[in-house]
Amino acid sequence: MSVISPKQAPSHSVVVDAMNNPAFEWTRVPATRRRLVLASIAATAVVMGMLYTAGMLLEADRRVASAWTMVATVVFTLGWMFLTGCLNASLRGAADPLVSTIPGGHDEWQQRLYDQTYRRCYWPTLIVMSVALLALVVGDLDIIPALGVFLSAFLLAVMAPLWTMAWTLPVDLRESASN
């Protein structure tokens, strides 16, 4: 197992420059950011539904339909990744766990906002993951659909802090930090 040295880790200036890129100014308007959250939730629901459907079709031995569903899932996943990137850029990387681990990645205000958001989402996501794990272990589902349910719960748990921060932040981070 290799360990990333500080020289290999992304530098503070590269990350900050990417997150403060003026090309993403359109995403920093609160109304636009909320529309992106709703679109991201819808895209996540579609991807989760397609993963579950592909698992059910695979379990029913309908390989051709399952293959087309997986192709559609990959296409929707690319759209979901674009939406996630736009949301993260709209928050200037404040919800990104990677940015929080880079020395100097967050200023004090962003770090406090990051910590508050993750604290707010901790128990709901823990409950969702616990219920999904319980359904996986003791549920009457076959293994592939059960894994689809668990993967969906995991995806919700990962996305909840980003959605929460993007929805509840009333203004651009630069304006809030300067006030």
* Residue 110 identity: Q
Average pLDDT, the chain: 77
Q: Domains of the chain: which residue ranges?
A: 12-174
In this predicted structure, what is the pLDDT of residue 42?
Answer: 92
pLDDT in tens, 113-130: 888 888 898 899 899 889
Q: How many residues does the chain have?
A: 179
Q: How many CB atoms lie under 10 A from the CB of residue 59?
A: 15
Q: What does pTM read for this prediction?
A: 0.75
pLDDT in tens, 144-164: 777 777 888 888 888 898 899
